[in-house]
Structure 1
């Protein structure tokens, strides 16, 4: 019976490349010369710090562009509030990795509303879709790509 998994993952290696690219851009840009600014990474959370809020905003834009270049959907970014601490401005950015319960339930509900001959089940931080026909599964993929969800989706583990 054909099946596939719906997941939302961020490639850690590509994320590291994007962060390194932003840090290189910061050291080379004229408007950041002599400014103490950098992007720090730990797992899937980033800390952007600079001397002014305008610079931090520019860094968020640079990060978004670097993520796009590294094939990471910028919808995975969750930008926090700016915090002023001394003469530094910090912004915490977390990257959504894995589907949470609410989004998984929403995906299953969307699939069931289409009344296709497939079954969707939540398995941890992914949704498995099974059906008798490969065409039905491809219809589900196309339908989910057209929906505006708050997180990027990937389809993997497709089995015939």
Structure 2
């Protein structure tokens, strides 16, 4: 009997790293010359990063700092879902950036369609916010991993629980 191999495809974010890069962003904002006297702030509330800035230019600069710090900490900016820019008190602007976790049903269907179109001999199954891929041959699973890494689904995919 040949035993099945399996792996899980997930899209997850380490929230400790998110907290770390937000603290680094706040520190850099407090030290930069172009932010002297500014009311710009960055806060984390559950899965949402809230940014408040004096104007849209400062908001864009804060977002640039935030993205650079996220990349340095190993957090993909594909997990960011940018809200619209809103006006706030005293002429300030605010924006909410939601951190996406898990694979939505629509994205999961796109991922599964790409796997099926590759004609690899594997089975796929949607399990809440992740996808289980199983097959007889672990080489097929490794081919699935390389296939999914080559394509852009707008998600930061990780491959966990590889069992052979």
TM-score of Structure 1 vs Structure 2, range by shorter chain: over 0.9
RMSD: 0.7
How many residue pairs align between the two structures? 160
1:137-156 pair list within 5 angstroms = 137-156=141-160
Note the residue ranges of structure 1 that are not aligned, 5 or more in a row: none
Structure 2 counterpart of 1:94: 98
1:3-152 pair list within 5 angstroms = 3-87=6-90, 88-152=92-156
* TM-score, normalised by the number of residues in structure 1: 0.98
Note the residue ranges of structure 2 that are not aligned, 5 or more in a row: none
In the TM superposition, structure 1's runs of 4+ consecutive aligned residues that sit over 6 Å from their partners are none
Deviation track 1:23-58 (CA, whole Å, cap 9, x = no partner) reads: 000000000011111101012111000111110111
User: SS state of the match for residue 9, structure 1?
Assistant: coil
Deviation track 1:62-85 (CA, whole Å, cap 9, x = no partner) reads: 111011011011111111111112
Measure, in 1, the Cα distance between the counterparts of 2:54 and 2:76: 28
* TM-score, normalised by the number of residues in structure 2: 0.95
